[in-house]
Chains A and B, each alone.
Chain A
Amino acid sequence: MIVLALALTVAVLYGAGTYLLFQRNLSRIVIGLALLTHGANLLLLLAGGRAGRPPIVGEGVGPAADPIPQALALTAIVITFGSTAFLLALAYRSWLLTRSDEVEDDVEDVRIATMTALREREAEEEIVVDEEAS
């Protein structure tokens, strides 16, 4: 039962994280990534199977919990914590520079896009001129 609840939580975290990742606002993207990484860490924990007694040699009776996924999750948490902190710092810097939370368009992409648009307009104008001439 608890496993099912955890699995559902993982699904919700992945779903919500993915949705937020598609937004244009940087703060939403950061939160989306945080949710996704939480989901991934929970998934790691779930991968270890059922809960059991503390995995210490010579203590207690009955099946012990698998310690490896816990160790993996712990490492993953530390790493994602650091990376998210860096991303937040970057987002803050971006806000300082642009005073906006939106992800900007790429300058070079915009230039190429406008180039194509200009050429298309020129071509259209030529057609119009040709028609007028005939």
Chain B
Amino acid sequence: MTPLLPVIVPFGAAAVSLALGRHHALRRALGVFALVTNVVTSVLLLRQVQDGSVITVVVGDWPAPIGISIVVDLFSAIMLSVAALMVLAVFLYAIGSSRTDDTTLFFHPVYLLLASGVSASFVTGDLFNLFVAFEMTLVCSYVLITLGGSRPQVRHGTTYVVISLLASTLFVTAIGLIYAATGTVNMADLAVKLQAIDPALRDALSVLFLVVFGIKAAIFPLFFWLPDSYPTAAAPVTAIFAGLLTKVGVYAIVRSQTLLFSQDTHSTLLLVVAGLTMTVGVLGAIAQDDVKRILSFHIVSQIGYMIFGLGLFSVAGLAATVFYIVHHIVIKTTLFMVGGLIEERTGTAALRRLGGMLHTSPFLAALFLIPALSLAGVPPLSGFVAKLTLIQSGLAVGAYVTVTVALVVSILTLFSMTKIWAGVFWGAPEAPPPMPEGLESTRPRFPPLMVGSTAALVGASLLFVVVAAPLYEMGQRAAEFLFEPARYVEAVLGP
């Protein structure tokens, strides 16, 4: 099966969706069909590569370093599958939501294009093609983040667009410099040729790429745009951004640091950055007073854990990172979906104006509690397994300082989750604002589709606990492959 399907199917569906115009029911059916197909093809790809094999396709049938390579290894396939699941779940959530107008002309096509761009970033084996995939994703995210066109959205959307454009320019610069140094942009070819150039130049390029991808992944000190721009978008948009976009950046960091610059010279740098990202993110979260802003700062904090696993440069550490990314994508998306449900019900996400939802909607409280405790790493939830493997591999190589930071940050995470819990769910129920005469029946209820997709993801996160061992083992195989760039090179360029 061709690894291009997860890119082509949503892309084609986006075009058809645009042509369908105002036929809302048809568009919804088309979107669901395309995204279900996306899940199926991604999981089939995962099955195909899970024994450690690699699928490669060269576009246009040009031989490898000249044509654009499409490469799917185990790590890409894991990311593809999780991303496909999230995109589908959030799509259903968006259809159910009354606050996001999915009947506007552009929501469906742009959303499907975003899915296509995310898939493209995971399957590409070419640095410039990665840039194109990033741009596809980013341009769609520009549209989605400013879809309402309200004043705060324009204000925060501008920050987001400017910083993303700057990162893209840096990316082009980095590609230009790496091309000048090696004469290629094919990743497998680069992996070979970068070994031959001046180590100082290689280190400089490595740091430049770390900055470029670091802006996308929101690592310290390049994260400031994220908590500023994410909370203003509509709930489904924030949920999918929180789940996927920064993780595309993390994927690119892992890929470039293991394949292209396959030395552990940046181990200390990455560990320091990881520790600072965790700490600053969680401290930012504690200071906030809005559910979506608290959760946004937690994205930053959690990225630190992923970089921590990579910074250890051991198979166990990287396996833990892979597991952590999978866990985090699901949990974070779910938490933002719950945040959206709170907003759907009450019309606000500000803690000071919420309270007592434990009495009015106990099921929602349960939907929040499970992923929130999992985020903090309370046993036996998936966050605990993820953090345990991470900390064990940290202790194994003696990174005691970062391990301590990770543990303290976990407690602070729990603290800020209890802050949301106390602010939103405990206390006396806020008296709902009186509805105008004759409109009582229009008081917002929970749309079943929104609650259903959120509950499904909570169920999926609980399932991770049951299948933690095989999942971790899979992460381990992915990590082993990542640390043997020669196998990747052989798969693409031939022996």
Kindly state whether residue A68 has any CB partner on chain B within 8 Å. Answer: yes
Q: DSSP class of A's interface residues: helix, strand, loop or mixed?
A: helix
Q: Which residue of A lies closest to B231 (CB)?
A: A108
A79–B135 contact, CB under 8 A? yes
- Identify A104's interface contact among B155, B157, B165, CB under 8 A: B155
State whether A87 touches B146 (Cβ < 8 A).
no
The answer to whether A68 and B166 touch (CB under 8 A), given A40-B173, A82-B139, is: no
Chain B neighbourhood of A1, CB < 8 A: none
- The answer to whether A108 and B185 touch (CB under 8 A), given A33-B169, A40-B176, A94-B158, is no
Point out the residues of chain B lying under 8 angstroms from A106, CB to CB.
Answer: 155-156, 228
Which of A36, A40, A68 interacts with B179 by CB under 8 Å? A68
If A84-B165, A112-B287 touch, does A26 touch B158 (CB 8 Å cutoff)?
yes
Is chain B's interface secondary structure helix, strand, loop, or mixed overall? Answer: helix
B256: Cβ under 8 A from any A Cβ: no
B residues adjacent to A (C-beta < 8 A) = 128, 131-132, 135, 138-139, 142-143, 146, 149, 151-152, 154-159, 161-162, 165-166, 168-169, 172-173, 175-177, 179-180, 185, 228, 287-290, 293
- Shortest distance between the CB of B163 and any CB in chain A (Å): 10
Q: Is A72's CB under 8 angstroms from B154's CB?
A: no
Partner of A79, one of B142, B168, B175, B180: B168
Tell me how far the C-beta of A116 lies from the nearest C-beta in chain B, rounded to whole angstroms. 10
What is the CA–CA distance of A2 and B280 in the complex, to the nearest angstrom? Answer: 47
Q: Are B158 and A46 in contact (CB under 8 A)?
A: no
- Is residue A76 contacting chain B, with contact meaning CB distance below 8 A? yes
A47 on the B face (CB < 8 A)? yes
A-B contact pairs, 17 of them (CB 8 A): A33-B166, A36-B166, A36-B169, A37-B165, A41-B172, A44-B172, A69-B179, A83-B135, A83-B139, A83-B142, A84-B165, A90-B157, A94-B154, A104-B155, A106-B156, A106-B228, A108-B293
Given contacts A40-B176, A46-B180, A108-B288, contact A80 B168 (CB under 8 A): yes
Please tell me if A19 contacts chain B, counting CB pairs below 8 Å.
no
